[in-house]
Amino acid sequence: MSELIIQILAASMLLATPLLLAAIGELVVEKSGVINLGVEGMMLIGGLAGFIALYQLQTSICTLELDGVCFASDTSVNQLQYLGALVVAAVVGAAAAAVFGFLTQHFRANHIAAGLGLTVLGAGLSNSLGGNFFGVDYTAAIVAKVPALFPESWGDVPVLGPLLFAQNLLVPFSFVMLVAVWYFLSQTRAGLVVRAVGENHHSAYALGYPVILVRMLTIMFGGAMAGLAGAFIVIAQIAPKWTEGITVGKGWLALALILFATWRPGRVLLGAYIFGIVLALEPRLKAIFSNMSLELSYFLTALPYIVPVVVLVLISRNPVMIRRNAPASLGQAFEPRS
Amino acid sequence: MNRALTTLLASALTFGAVVATPAQAETKVGFIYVGPPGDLGWTYRHDIGRQAVEAMDGFTTTALENVPEGPEAVEAITQLAETGHDLIFTTSFGFMDATNEVAGNYPDVKFEHATGYIRAHENVSTYSGRFYEGRVVQGYIAANITESNKIGYIASFPIPEVIRGINAFMLEAKKHNPDVEVEIVWVFTWFDPAKEAAAAQALIDNGADIIAAHTDSPAPMQIAEANGVKAYGQASNMSRFGETAHLVSTVDDWDSYYVERAIAVANGTWESQDSWWGFTKDGIGGEVGMVHLADYSNMPADVMAEAKAIEAALAAGDRHSFPCPIYMQDGNLAEDCANGEAHLTDGTLLGMNWYIEGIDGTIPQ
């Protein structure tokens, strides 16, 4: 029984981490008064960039060479190369976000339209670039599996083994970032400035804070986190493999998660793991209860999506809850008054 | 040194082809895809078939990717019909109504719908592969190499196509190892790597040491590889995702059908028909069909030899995938067998919505 619980927890970590990473980033973006619906697109672009970087960085030793052409090779990846790929994913995610930032902050474009545009751009661009654009068909490229953070034998340690030692670097990182963002937003002066910009950009501007710069920085932070989330899905969640449209809507779930959490970091964590646990439970319940009816089976599949909808409805019935936590200037274009 | 020779041969062939091309009107063939071709899976294999048509002289092809199923597909199919395509393949079940609707408006254009059954006009054909023949061989292999006697099966949707595969697999597996059990997880998706991976992990955690999947991504194979168990490739060759896990891949093979139908249009001999090809076109050892098995690996030599023998027997028509007697889950003899048939009829297979005896659980319906 306890083994089953640990299996479910380990599986839910894999499923929750990309949502958590992307949602932490978007949380900061929204706290500064910007709503970026392009999370899905940034995840795809960042994920592809991380995959390409890892493909280029990995150690490859040719084992079968004929006439100077390599027919078979042994590839391996170490933590440093993986770290390099993650940096690339974050930088490219931030760059994609900067496009959105430039449109919305410099040209004061509508946040919703620009964000949707970024989603479409991210999907299309990653499909094209991941094809044969750079002379390598990355949909067919093979990249070695990333080793766990700790020695493999540690994975057999009860409880801590599967839940910590066997996990990917980004899993503990997502917790560290969550605490860091909570601390930044609620305990630091800079975090206060970000929130002030999100609550009332005109007042913040009158006080001398660079509203547009602050928002550009948060937007790029959000992009970097989305890029890492994409890289986790492409590289670490299963095994490294680039597939067109591999995120399958996880970016949208990250957005829903923020509403679910009413812009509070602790609740983002809760929401991500509720989602992860439900997703991890679903196949296990279906395997154990093989006489499940179609209705129940469909219901289980839909459950992770129903929960946010129900919670959103409940939240929206309580306007005080929204008003207390939602940034007042969310989604509004800022034009300095002269 | 071989490369120089190959290059020489290739250029000679190309030169010959260019010279041989007669000046004639080209036949335009269009394809509607439900997803991106990518590098493996359902749409990829259709695109390989398209390339086989494109490679012939006198034929050009067009493909529209990511076309949504349902009424929205009408626009895409019409676009191909309007732009002078003589033959249009719509390569997903969900294009059925749209294909027939557009076909009614363009009587001079030929339409071919994959995996459907409605041919509302004389210019519509339907076609599909007997993919269950691959499942028979998979079932034999599983029965012989499983140690836990537990097979994990990731099923997409409870439709006859998928149920047929489960039955074919277990019918053969039970024949060689009565203790074998199957655990089925319905994921209700054709493509969602994270979901397929979670299902594979759950089945392995539950004791399965062989994973069969009726979904599109290589995620189940990758999870099997990571857990040190075995798995089969689905729709295309997935051996590169499971160096130690991969047993055999069932590969969809549309090349010869697409080439045959395109040539029929060019020659004016095209007629509306329904085609259902297995390992061979006629099921009795004729030309190559729509299904083949690739890269037998990671199994003892005797198992591999017998598996290949079963594949050959199915291809030659020496045996059937569903030979009588077949008992249903409730213990009753299947109707076809009771009626004295030697094996289940195509009609029964096309509408299959019941498990054979020995499979636990109910089909969600």
pLDDT tens per residue, range A39-86? 999 999 999 999 999 999 988 888 777 777 777 777 888 889 999 999
> A164 phi and psi, to 5 degrees?
-130, -55
The secondary structure of A292-306 as a DSSP string is --HHHHHHHHHHHHH
B210 and B105 in one domain?
Answer: no
pLDDT tens per residue, range A310-336? 877 777 777 777 777 788 888 888 887
Structure tokens at A61: 């030793």
Name the pLDDT band for A278 (thresholds 50, 70, 90). confident
Q: Which residues of B touch A140 (CB under 8 A)?
A: 39
pLDDT of residue B139: 95
> B230 phi and psi, to 5 degrees?
-105, 160
pLDDT of residue B228: 92
* Sign for the pseudo-dihedral over CA of A32, A34, A37, A41: negative
- Render the burial of B39-54: b for 16+ CB within 10 Å, e for the rest: bbbbbbbbbbbbebbb
Q: Smallest Cβ distance to B226: which of A67, A239, A248? A: A239
> A51 phi and psi, to 5 degrees?
-65, -45
Structure tokens at B24: 């004639």
pLDDT tens per residue, range B5-64? 444 444 444 433 444 444 457 889 999 998 777 777 888 889 999 999 999 888 999 988
Q: Are B280 and B237 in contact (CB under 8 A)?
A: no
pLDDT of residue B365: 66
Q: Which residues of A touch B355 (CB under 8 A)?
A: none
pLDDT tens per residue, range A134-192? 888 888 788 888 887 787 778 778 878 788 888 888 999 999 999 999 999 999 999 99
B271 and B247 in one domain?
Answer: no
Contacts of B104 (CB under 8 A, 6+ apart): B120, B121
pLDDT of residue A65: 78
Report CB contact under 8 Å: A67, B222: no
CA distance B188 to chain A (A): 8
Enter the pTM of the model: 0.81
Q: Smallest Cβ distance to B197: which of A238, A288, A298? A: A238
Q: Which ipTM value was assigned to this complex?
A: 0.77
B234 and B319 in one domain?
Answer: yes
Name the pLDDT band for A274 (thresholds 50, 70, 90). confident
- The alpha carbon of A4 is separated from its chain's Cα centroid by a whole number of angstroms, namely 27
Angle CA A188–A191–A192, to nearest 5 = 90
Structure tokens at B102: 């557009």
pLDDT of residue A1: 62
Q: Smallest Cβ distance to B198: which of A250, A279, A291? A: A279
B244 and B160 in one domain?
Answer: yes
Q: Are A11 and B201 in contact (CB under 8 A)?
A: yes
B47 and B185 in one domain?
Answer: no
- Structural domain contains residue B330: yes
Q: Smallest Cβ distance to A246: which of B193, B225, B364? A: B193
Q: Are B86 and B28 in contact (CB under 8 A)?
A: yes
Residue B258: give the domain boundaries. 26-129+254-277
With 0-12 / 13-18 / 19 or more C-beta atoms within 10 angstroms meaning exposed / middle / buried, residue A313 is exposed
CA distance B219 to chain A (A): 7
Alpha helix stretches (DSSP H) within A102-249: 111-128, 160, 170-187, 189-199, 201-206, 211-231
Q: How many CB pairs under 8 A join A and B?
A: 106
Structure tokens at B180: 């074998």
Chain B CB within 8 Å of residue A11 CB: yes
B201 and B124 in one domain?
Answer: no
CA distance A330 to chain B (A): 32
Chain A CB within 8 Å of residue B319 CB: no
Distance from C-alpha of B143 to C-alpha of B164, rounded to nearest angstrom: 18
Contacts of A177 (CB under 8 A, 6+ apart): A21, A24, A225
DSSP β-bridge partners for residue A172? none
Q: Is the pLDDT score of B309 beyond 90?
A: yes
Distance from C-alpha of A63 to C-alpha of B73, rounded to nearest angstrom: 48
Chain B CB within 8 Å of residue A245 CB: yes
Distance from C-alpha of B233 to C-alpha of B214, rounded to nearest angstrom: 9
Contacts of B132 (CB under 8 A, 6+ apart): B164, B165, B167, B168, B321, B349
Using CA coordinates, name the residue in chain A closest to B359: A290
What is the mean pLDDT of the segment spanning A1-22? Answer: 89
Q: What is A2-325's CATH number, 3.40.50, 1.10.4160, 1.10.10, 1.10.3470?
A: 1.10.3470
Distance from C-alpha of A55 to C-alpha of B139, rounded to nearest angstrom: 36
- Structural domain contains residue B18: no
Give chain B's end-to-end CA distance (angstroms, integer).
Answer: 61
B258 and B248 in one domain?
Answer: no
- Structural domain contains residue B35: yes
pLDDT tens per residue, range B92-145? 888 988 999 999 899 999 999 998 888 888 999 999 989 999 999 999 999 999
Q: Are A168 and A148 in contact (CB under 8 A)?
A: yes
CA distance B83 to chain A (A): 25
Domain ranges of chain A: 2-325
Q: Report the domain count for chain B.
A: 2
Residues of chain B with pLDDT > 90, as a percent, come to 40
Using CA coordinates, name the residue in chain A closest to B362: A291
Bond before B325 cis per omega within 30 degrees: yes
Structure tokens at A149: 């953070």
> What's the one-letter identity of residue A5?
I
Report CB contact under 8 Å: B202, A283: yes
Report CB contact under 8 Å: B218, A241: yes
pLDDT tens per residue, range B67-76? 888 888 898 9
What is the mean pLDDT of the segment spanning A93-104? Answer: 95
HSE (CB half, 13 Å, CA atoms) of B259? 17
- Structural domain contains residue B218: yes
Comparing CA positions, the residue from A338, A275, A21 lying closest to residue A169 is A21
Q: Are B80 and B24 in contact (CB under 8 A)?
A: no
B325 and B195 in one domain?
Answer: yes
Structure tokens at B170: 């277990």
Q: Which residues of A touch B194 (CB under 8 A)?
A: 14-15, 233, 237-238, 248, 250, 279
Q: Is the pLDDT score of A14 beyond 70?
A: yes
DSSP conformational letter for A233: I
- Structural domain contains residue B11: no
B314 and B212 in one domain?
Answer: yes
Q: Smallest Cβ distance to A298: which of B38, B185, B188? A: B188
- The alpha carbon of B286 is separated from its chain's Cα centroid by a whole number of angstroms, namely 18
Q: Smallest Cβ distance to B39: which of A140, A233, A290? A: A140
pLDDT tens per residue, range B148-176? 999 999 998 888 889 999 999 999 999 99
CA distance A131 to chain B (A): 8
pLDDT of residue B9: 43
Q: Which residue has the tokens 């067109």?
A: A244
Report CB contact under 8 Å: B202, A241: no
Report CB contact under 8 Å: A238, B360: no
DSSP conformational letter for A131: I
Distance from C-alpha of A274 to C-alpha of A280, rounded to nearest angstrom: 10
Alpha helix stretches (DSSP H) within B179-275: 193-205, 219-227, 255-267
Average pLDDT, chain A: 88
pLDDT tens per residue, range B265-308? 888 898 888 888 888 887 777 788 888 899 999 999 999 999 99
B243 and B148 in one domain?
Answer: yes
- Structural domain contains residue B194: yes
The CATH number of whichever domain residue B99 belongs to comes to 3.40.50.2300
pLDDT of residue A70: 75
Contacts of A301 (CB under 8 A, 6+ apart): A282, B187, B188
Comparing CA positions, the residue from A262, A229, A24, A240 lying closest to residue A122 is A229
Q: Which residues of A touch B223 (CB under 8 A)?
A: 238-239
Comparing CA positions, the residue from B246, B245, B195 lying closest to residue B216 is B195
B207 and B154 in one domain?
Answer: yes
Q: Is the pLDDT score of B326 beyond 70?
A: yes
Contacts of B99 (CB under 8 A, 6+ apart): B73, B77, B88, B90, B111, B113, B116, B124
Distance from C-alpha of A256 to C-alpha of A253, rounded to nearest angstrom: 5
Chain A CB within 8 Å of residue B42 CB: no
Q: Are B31 and B50 in contact (CB under 8 A)?
A: yes
Structure tokens at A151: 């020695």
